Structure 1
């Protein structure tokens, strides 16, 4: 009988699973790799790659590790969790440099109290 892992996991563990998926997705984007390409390199379907990045707790750890290795060969799970990859640092620097758009007249009037 198939068990939906999301329904039996405590909320804390569901959150950790989601964070792991988000870190993998962030690393993939930082390294400028398409999700489909990462899935092919890992020998997974694109749907499985999607589920990994969404933090699906029902996936095997081997699939997650293969996906990580496809994105960043030689990078360990510890490096992923500590976000010590140089590509992530570069991406963070670029995000901090983004310009802020000015408010529209309607938004200014809305804030005027």
Structure 2
């Protein structure tokens, strides 16, 4: 029998579930995998992958492990949460905003045609 897990969990545990899903989604994005491809590799429906990435606490631990293995083979759940993966580092660097400074009057004058 299926039932909702949300009413049975505390707010911090629900937040952890959502954070786990967000980190798995970020890892998948960093590895440049489409959600449908990751789900197929894990033997899951895409709708299940969506629920995992949303942090649905009703997903089984087995489903989460299979999804993680499909995204990042050999990476443990703990390592995925520590965000030490090189793909995540590259993604963070690409997302980092670049500081742009104002041009000095001399530099502006050099650009004047």
Larger radius of gyration: 2
SS at match of 1:59: coil
Within a 5 Å distance, the mapping from 1:56-95 to structure 2 comes to 56-95=56-95
The gaps in structure 2 that reach 5 residues or longer are 101-113
Quote the offset at 1:8 in angstroms. Answer: 1.4
Change (3 A) 1:98 1:6: farther
Quote the offset at 1:98 in angstroms. Answer: 5.6
The reply on whether 1:24 has 2:48 as its aligned counterpart is: no
TM-score, structure 1 normalization: 0.84
TM-score, structure 2 normalization: 0.84
Quote the offset at 1:6 in angstroms. Answer: 1.1
SS at match of 2:73: coil
**Map of 1:52 onto structure 2:** 52
Quote the offset at 1:3 in angstroms. Answer: 2.1
Quote the offset at 1:78 in angstroms. Answer: 1.1
RMSD, matched Cα: 1.4
Mapped partners of 1:86, 1:48: distance in 2: 26
